[in-house]
A and B are shown apart, each in its own frame.
Chain A
Amino acid sequence: MTGKLVQENLKHRPMRSLLSILLIGVPVTLILSLVGLTKGMLEDSQQRQRGVGADIIIRGSTASSVINFAGASIPQNVVNLVEKLPHVKLATGVINHSIDPPLVVTGVDISEFTRMSGGFEYLKGGPIQHPGEILIDESFAKQRDAGIGSTIKLLNHDWRVAGIIGGGKLARIVLPLKVLQELDESTGKVSQIYVKVDDASAIGVVVKEIRELLPNYTVNTMEEWISAFKVSNIPGIREFTVVVIAIGVVIGFSVVCLSMYMAVLQRTREIGILKSLGASKGFILGIILAEAELLGVGGTILGIVFSFGAYWLIRTLVPASIPMIIVPGWWPIAGVITLIGTGLGALYPGLTAAAHDPIEALAYE
């Protein structure tokens, strides 16, 4: 019967119920979108690093975060030093140039990279043949609406798209190493060095040797490096997520508090009727809380649906800049957060309703 009362109360004022659900759904969308953006970017980066096919990465001494757009600080001759170490099959340096964070142009020695990773997968076009040509991945091509032969402006230069490559291998935008070094005024320097060894069991030994050889650089196995792509390693993102969640709770609380307070005012007489029938304070409070939680569940479902909308919009407009994903694991978390907010929001109106004097409530017009 409680369910029937709750259901009929919500149906009785459909616009209020729908608006409440909509307003609760917005912060749920925000939370899920933020989580989807963060996890999407991290997973995309992990996948592209894994696609390099290296066993070890050497980074500059200042590299502290997984999101590091620092310029080239490693002399390129270090690559040759590393290559001479036992068990090192191949080493190649790359240079990064941030254009529009998190988008990065990567300078690569294409032939060395091909030996290390098996090469780029060309979805359209082919390798760079002439100066002034560039490779872009399918996401960036979609974002810029570019095809083979298109001209795109980057780093104050016009580039002709020679090939569109599949994602998941190192970079979205690729230039020859020397070209980017010159543009970056970093000739003879690289941002990081990827190392491939001839025997997987020798990775630990090689890492140790490189650390001894290059004590001022950060040396990690690729597994260590890839596992470092976590929210906790991105400065500020955890705090930002907490702030968004707090905003979600406050909005859910406020919307439900206002909505249920209005509902209690409008239903004062009905509360008096229920009290005259012997409804306890707990029963009245329970109905108000159940209504609020049902709005919260509706808001959560709508928020999840809207997060698919945000996903579609982002994937359509900026697939390269923001590789958002859907994170179903966060649906129950967002639901619990919402239900906490709505429950708290309904508490004051619910207690007010429960405390109504039955005679005054029955006389309410």
Chain B
Amino acid sequence: MSSTIIQVRDLRKVFRVGQVDVPALRGVDLNVTSGEFLSIVGPSGSGKSTLFHIIGGLTPPTSGEVHVNGRNLAAMTDAARTELRKRSVGFVFQKFNLLPNLTARDNIAVARYLAGVDRKPDPQFEDILRLLGIQNRLDHKPNALSGGEQQRVAIARAIVKNPAILLADEPTGNLDTENSKSVLEILRDLNQRLGQTILMITHNPEAATYGHNTVHMRDGRIVERT
């Protein structure tokens, strides 16, 4: 039986904009089991990205509880959240967010270095590169790679440290149909072959079907789970 890897209870997040408090999350409850591929959909401003950022340890919650891999993020210091990002969470962004000065290989190496796993040989790594189809593109810098290739490098960078959770924020948002399909299939492969837990934010209903389950958000709340 799969264990719960993400547990969210009455999660609230309020942003201060000028003199005004703007609630982004208004009491979210969510459970994600280990090995689950969960799609999160919803219109702009529904709180998807804020939920994503809190679970990924990029920002603290205003109130509520968030347990990721057994650790309560609400009680974490900034340094502890950094540690979480370093070892337990991998990010894939819509805009790829590769370091432009480094080659694809070095972009991946940075993540291994920061996670402290760069000294250990990773027998899975070559398999992952083959799976992603980028083994011949590793010595190129991002500006010499296509959008699809950049996103595949970003996925490699995210999973190279064997994170407990892979968070993908609109991973196909900047890709054409063919590359979108390819990236989504890669994510599904990672989930099926390696048991990688994946949370994917998407606007695209078709992309959302790649997940086992889909969570619908609106106005800072989860309104439906299918």
Contacts and interface: CB of A to CB of B under 8 A. Distances in A.
B114 A270 contact: no
A274 B58 contact: no
B102 A8 contact: yes
A277 B106 contact: no
A278 B79 CA distance: 9
A9 B91 contact: no
Interface of B: 53, 56, 58-59, 78-79, 82-87, 91, 93, 97-102, 106, 109-111, 113-115, 118, 157
Given A277-B157, A278-B85, A1 B109 contact: yes
Contacts of B99: 5, 270, 273-274
20 contacts: A1-B110, A1-B118, A5-B99, A11-B101, A269-B97, A272-B97, A273-B97, A274-B114, A276-B91, A277-B91, A277-B114, A278-B83, A279-B82, A279-B86, A280-B86, A358-B58, A359-B53, A359-B58, A359-B59, A362-B93
Interface string A7-23: 01101100000000000
Interface in A264-297: 269-270, 272-281, 283
Interface of A: 1, 4-5, 8-9, 11-12, 269-270, 272-281, 283, 357-359, 362
Nearest to B116: A278
Given A273-B99, A279-B114, A362-B97, A4 B86 contact: no
A67 to B, nearest CB: 54
B145 to A, nearest CB: 16
Contacts of B102: 4-5, 8
A275 B91 CA distance: 11
Contacts of A276: 56, 58, 85, 91, 93, 97
Contacts of B98: 273
A358 B111 CA distance: 16
A328 B91 CA distance: 51
A8 B101 contact: yes
B115 A278 contact: yes
A287 to B, nearest CB: 11
Contacts of A12: 100-101
A280 B79 contact: yes
B69 to A, nearest CB: 14
A275 B83 CA distance: 10
Interface centre among B97, B99, B102, B111 (most CB of A within 10 A): B99
B47 to A, nearest CB: 14
A12 B143 CA distance: 13
A274 B113 CA distance: 11
Contacts of B59: 357-359
Given A5-B102, A274-B114, 15 more contacts: A1-B106, A1-B109, A1-B118, A5-B101, A8-B102, A269-B97, A272-B97, A273-B98, A276-B85, A276-B91, A277-B110, A277-B114, A280-B79, A359-B58, A362-B93
Contact of A277 (B86, B100, B101): B86
A271 to B, nearest CB: 10
Contacts of A357: 59
Contact of A4 (B84, B85, B106, B114): B106
Contacts of A8: 101-102, 106
A275 B110 contact: no
A277 to B, nearest CB: 5
